C-alpha cells in the first residue's frame, strides 16, 4: 500500500473517531440538558459558564445570565478548607443552604422561589484542571423528614421517661413476668417496698411467685388464664397486712408474638370499706325514708292545722293554701285555684309585692319580712306580714309564703306608740325637773359648804365644834357631787352634753387626780400609785380635758370605795396610736354577770359591801356615756 492509500485510510479512521466523539458530545449535551439532577459547569477560575434546565428550575430563574456573576471560589457559604480541596482537584461534598427570601430582599437576583432550601452539593474536577462539574440535589424534604423524625424520637423518649417516672412514683404495684416460667422481668419501687416491708423479702429479677406467697399455684393459674383470655381482673386479699387489692393482668404482644404478662395491683382497702359503709348507709336511708313518708303525712297535718296562713305558688298559679289562710281571707280553697297571689293583694301594694318576688327569683339578698295589705272576700283590708322563701323543683321556682294577719297587732302597736310618745314626753318633763331642781339645790348647798368652812376656821381650838363643822362640810360636798351627777344624767338624757376639745397634756390630769384622792386613799390605808411607760411629751392629746378628768374621778372614787386593803394603780400607755388609761385595784371585783348591768343608770350590785358604802348608781353610767361621746372604748 502506497503512502496515499495509507493517508486516506488514516483520514477515514480519524473521520470516524471525530464522528464518534461528536456522538458522545451530543449524547453528553442531551444528558446534561435532560438530566433531572441540577448540573453546573465552572471554569478553572471558579466562574459559572453553564447550567442545565434542572439547575435553572431549582434556582427559580429563566436564564443563566441572571447568575452569570456567581463565582464558586467567592461563595462565603463554602468553608475555606473545602475551597482549598476543590482547588487541589479533590472531590468535595457539602450541604448548601439557599434562603430565597433574602435573595429577593437583597436583590441578589430575581427568583420566583421563596423559603429556605437545602441542597446536597458535590463538586467534581474536570480532567487536567479544565474546570469543575457540580451536582445539586434538593434534600429539603428529606431533611425535614429527618428533623421531624428526630423531634418525634425526642418526644417518644420524653414520654417514655415520664411513663417510667409515673410507674416508679406510684403507690400501685406494677410488674411483668415472662409467659413461660412466669419469672419476674421488671417491677417498680412499690413492689419492692411492699414485699420488703410486709414479709421482709427482697424482690429480684427472675423471682417466681413461690418466693412471696403460699398461694403461688393460684398465681400460676392467674397467669395461665391471662394467656388464654388476654386480660383478667380480680380482687385479692393479701396474705400479709390488712390489704384488699384489685389486680388487672394483661397479655403483652409484639408483632403478634406473646412476650410477657403485665400485672397492675391497686390497694382498694379504703374503697372496700367505703362500699360497706355505703351499703350500711343505704340500709339506714331506706329506714329513714319510711320515717320521712310518715313525717310527710304528719307535716301535711301540721300545715293544715297551722295558725299561720300558708300559700305555695309558682309564676302562674297558686298551688296550695292551708285552712287558716282560707279563714283569714274568707275564701274557700277552690276560690284560690287558678289564681295568682297578687289577685288577693291590695291594688296599691301589688307592685311592691311583685318586685319582692322578682328579688327572690334572682337569688339576691332580701329582707324576709314583707308588709302588705290584703283584701278579704268581704272587701275588708287585712294587714299582713308575709315571710316568703323559694325552692327549686324540676328547674322551676316555687314560692312558699307564710302569711300572718297582723291587723290586731298593728292596732296594738299604734296604741303602744302613742303610749311611748306620752312616756317620752313625761320623761322629758322629769329630766327637765331634775335639772332645774338640782340647780336650785346646788346654790344653797354651795352657800352651806362655804359658811361651814368659815365656821371651821373660826372655831379652831374647840374640837367639838370643829368636828361638827367638818361633818357639815364633808356631807355638803358629797351632796353637791350627787347633785352634779344628777345634772350630768339629765344632760345625757336630753342630749345636752356638750364637748370642749382642746390640746393638753394628759399627765397633768393624772397628777391632779392622784393629788385629789391621795388623802382619801391614805385615810383607808390604801396605796394610790400612777405609772406610765411613755414620756410626758407623748401624752399630749386633743380631747375634752374636764370630761376625761370626770371619768378618772368616778373610777378612782369607786376603787377607793370598794377596796378594803391593798393598792390602786393608774397606768397610762399608748398602743396603735391610741391613749390607754387603766385603773386597777385589789378590791372585790365585778362578776361576769354583773358586768352586763353596772353601766345602766341607777343600777348597783346588790351586796353587803354596796349597802355599807352607799352610792347613787350613776357613776359608771356617766363614765360610759362620756367615753361613747368621745368615741372611745371601755
Are 14-138 and 500-629 in the same CATH fold? no
- Return the pLDDT at 593: 76
CA pair distance 34, 31, nearest whole angstrom: 5
For range 154-181, the mean pLDDT: 85
628 confidence band (pLDDT: 50, 70, 90)? confident
Residues 602-631: what's their mean pLDDT? 66
This model's pTM is above 0.75 = no
Does pLDDT of 607 surpass 50?
no
Q: What is the pLDDT of residues 524-534, one digit of tens each?
A: 888 888 888 77
Mean of pLDDT values over 240-255:
84
pLDDT at 503 over 60: yes
Rounded CA-CA distance 402/37 in Å is 95
Q: What's the mean pLDDT when you consider all of the chain?
A: 80
Sequence length of the chain is 634
Q: How far apart are CA 367 and CA 308, in angstroms?
A: 19
Q: What is the pLDDT of residues 552-599, one digit of tens each?
A: 887 888 888 888 888 988 888 888 878 888 888 888 888 777 777 777
Asked if the model's pLDDT at residue 212 lies above 80, the reply is no
- Span 297-323, average pLDDT: 83
Q: Does pLDDT of 420 surpass 70?
A: yes
CB 109 within 8 A of CB 70: no
Q: Give pLDDT tens digits for 329-358.
A: 888 888 888 788 888 888 888 888 888 888
pLDDT in tens, 267-280: 888 888 888 888 88
CB 598 within 8 A of CB 605: yes
- Residue spans of the domains in the chain: they are 14-138, 170-267, 306-403, 406-497, 500-629
| DSSP code of residue 313 | E
* pLDDT reading at 436 higher than 60: no
Q: What is the pLDDT of residue 608?
A: 46
Q: Is the pLDDT of residue 423 over 70?
A: no
pLDDT at position 514: 84
Distance set, CA 285 to CA 89, 270, 279, 296, 398 (Å): 97, 22, 10, 16, 26
* pLDDT over threshold 80, residue 12: no
Superfamily of segment(s) 14-138: PAS domain (3.30.450.20)
500-629 CATH fold: Heat Shock Protein 90 (3.30.565)
- How far apart CA 65 and CA 50 sit, in angstroms, is 10
What pLDDT shows up at residue 396?
87
The pLDDT score that the predictor gives to residue 250 is 95
CA distance 66 to 110: 7
pLDDT digits (tens, 9 = 90+) for 28-51: 677 777 888 889 989 888 898 889
What sign for the dihedral angle of Cα 284, 289, 295, 299?
positive
Q: Is the pLDDT of residue 101 over 80?
A: yes
Using DSSP, how many helices (H) and how many strands (E) does the chain show?
17, 20
pLDDT at position 468 is 61
The greatest distance separating any two alpha carbons of the chain, rounded to the nearest whole angstrom, comes to 196
Note the pLDDT of residue 609: 44
Cα–Cα distance measured from residue 610 to residue 605, given in angstroms and rounded to the nearest whole number: 7
Query: Per residue in 139-151, is it b (16+ CB within 10 Å) or e — as a string?
Result: beeeeeeeeeeee
Query: Is domain 406-497 annotated with CATH 3.40.50?
Result: no
Average the pLDDT over 509-513 and give the result.
83
Closest to 222 in 3D by CA, of 243, 211, 236: 236
Which architecture, in CATH terms, is 306-403?
2-Layer Sandwich (3.30)
Indicate if the pLDDT at residue 484 is higher than 70.
Answer: no
Q: What percent of the chain has pLDDT over 90?
A: 8
Strand blocks (E) in 433-562: 502-505, 527-532, 540-543
Q: What is the mean pLDDT of residues 7-12?
A: 73
Q: How would DSSP label each residue in 266-308?
A: EE-HHHHHHHHHHHHHHHHHHHHHHHHHHHHHHHHHHHHH-SS
- From the centroid of its chain, how far is CA 400? 34
Looking at residue 257, its pLDDT comes to 92
pLDDT at 411: 77
Flag the least confident range among 31-35, 48-52, 460-464, 501-505: 460-464
- The answer to whether 485 and 516 are in contact (CB under 8 A) is no
Nearest to 374 by CA among 396, 398, 343, 395: 343
| Per-residue pLDDT at 512 | 83
User: What fold, for 170-267?
Assistant: Beta-Lactamase (3.30.450)
Amino acid at each position: 500500500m502506497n503512502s496515499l492509500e495509507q493517508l486516506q485510510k488514516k483520514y477515514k479512521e480519524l473521520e470516524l473517531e471525530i464522528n464518534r466523539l461528536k456522538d458522545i458530545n451530543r449524547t453528553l449535551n442531551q444528558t446534561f440538558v435532560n438530566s433531572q439532577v441540577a448540573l453546573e459547569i465552572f471554569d478553572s477560575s471558579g466562574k459559572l459558564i453553564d447550567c442545565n434546565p434542572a439547575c435553572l428550575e431549582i434556582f427559580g430563574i429563566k436564564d443563566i445570565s441572571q447568575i452569570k456573576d456567581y463565582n464558586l471560589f467567592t461563595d462565603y457559604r463554602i468553608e475555606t478548607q473545602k475551597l482549598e480541596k476543590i482547588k487541589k482537584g479533590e472531590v468535595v461534598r457539602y450541604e448548601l443552604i439557599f434562603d430565597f427570601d433574602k435573595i429577593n430582599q437583597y436583590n441578589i437576583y430575581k427568583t420566583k422561589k421563596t423559603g429556605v432550601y437545602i441542597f446536597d452539593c458535590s463538586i467534581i474536577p474536570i480532567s487536567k484542571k479544565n474546570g469543575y462539574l457540580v451536582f445539586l440535589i434538593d434534600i429539603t424534604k428529606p431533611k425535614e423528614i429527618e428533623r421531624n423524625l428526630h423531634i418525634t424520637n425526642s418526644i417518644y423518649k420524653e414520654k417514655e421517661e415520664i411513663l417510667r417516672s409515673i410507674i416508679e412514683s406510684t403507690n400501685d404495684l406494677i410488674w411483668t413476668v415472662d409467659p413461660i416460667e412466669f419469672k419476674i422481668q421488671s417491677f417498680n419501687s412499690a413492689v419492692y417496698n411492699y414485699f420488703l416491708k410486709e414479709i421482709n423479702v427482697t424482690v429480684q429479677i427472675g423471682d417466681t411467685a413461690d418466693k412471696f406467697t403460699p398461694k403461688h399455684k393460684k398465681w400460676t393459674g392467674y397467669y395461665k388464664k391471662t394467656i388464654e383470655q388476654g386480660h383478667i381482673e380480680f380482687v385479692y386479699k393479701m396474705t400479709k397486712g390488712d390489704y384488699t387489692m384489685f389486680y388487672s393482668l394483661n397479655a403483652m404482644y409484639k408483632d403478634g408474638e406473646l412476650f410477657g404478662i403485665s400485672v397492675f395491683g391497686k390497694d382498694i382497702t379504703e374503697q372496700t370499706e367505703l362500699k360497706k359503709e355505703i351499703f350500711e348507709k343505704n340500709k339506714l336511708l331506706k329506714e329513714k325514708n319510711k320515717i320521712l313518708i310518715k313525717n310527710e303525712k304528719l307535716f301535711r297535718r301540721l300545715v293544715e292545722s297551722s295558725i299561720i296562713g300558708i300559700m305555695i305558688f309558682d309564676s302562674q298559679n297558686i298551688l296550695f293554701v292551708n285552712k287558716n289562710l282560707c279563714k283569714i281571707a274568707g275564701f274557700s280553697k277552690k276560690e284560690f285555684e287558678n289564681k295568682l297571689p297578687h289577685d288577693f293583694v291590695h291594688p296599691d301594694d301589688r307592685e311592691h309585692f311583685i318586685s319582692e318576688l322578682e328579688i327572690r327569683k334572682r337569688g339576691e339578698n332580701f329582707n324576709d319580712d314583707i308588709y302588705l295589705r290584703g283584701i278579704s272576700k268581704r272587701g275588708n283590708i287585712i294587714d299582713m306580714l308575709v315571710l316568703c322563701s323559694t325552692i327549686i323543683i324540676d328547674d322551676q321556682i316555687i314560692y312558699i309564703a307564710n302569711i300572718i294577719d297582723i291587723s290586731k297587732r298593728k292596732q296594738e302597736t299604734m296604741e303602744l306608740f302613742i303610749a311611748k310618745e306620752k312616756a317620752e314626753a313625761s320623761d322629758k318633763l322629769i329630766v327637765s325637773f331634775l335639772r332645774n331642781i338640782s340647780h336650785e339645790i346646788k346654790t344653797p348647798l354651795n352657800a352651806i359648804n362655804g359658811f361651814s368652812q368659815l365656821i371651821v376656821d373660826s372655831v379652831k381650838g374647840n374640837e367639838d365644834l370643829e368636828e361638827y363643822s367638818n361633818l357639815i362640810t364633808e356631807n355638803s360636798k358629797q351632796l353637791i357631787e350627787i347633785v352634779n351627777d344628777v345634772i350630768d344624767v339629765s344632760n345625757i338624757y336630753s342630749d345636752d352634753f356638750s364637748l370642749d376639745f382642746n390640746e393638753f397634756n394628759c399627765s397633768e390630769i393624772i397628777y391632779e387626780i392622784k393629788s385629789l384622792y391621795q388623802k382619801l386613799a391614805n385615810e383607808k390605808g390604801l396605796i394610790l400609785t400612777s405609772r406610765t411607760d411613755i414620756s410626758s411629751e407623748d401624752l399630749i392629746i386633743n380631747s375634752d380635758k374636764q370630761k376625761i378628768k370626770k371619768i378618772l374621778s368616778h373610777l378612782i372614787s369607786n376603787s377607793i370605795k370598794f377596796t378594803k386593803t391593798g393598792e390602786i394603780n393608774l397606768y397610762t400607755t399608748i398602743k396603735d396610736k391610741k391613749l390607754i388609761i387603766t385603773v386597777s385595784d385589789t378590791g372585790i371585783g365585778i362578776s361576769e354577770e354583773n358586768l352586763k348591768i353596772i353601766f345602766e343608770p341607777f343600777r348597783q350590785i346588790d351586796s353587803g359591801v354596796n349597802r355599807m358604802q352607799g352610792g347613787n348608781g350613776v357613776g359608771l353610767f356617766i363614765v360610759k356615756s362620756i367615753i361613747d361621746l368621745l368615741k372611745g372604748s371601755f
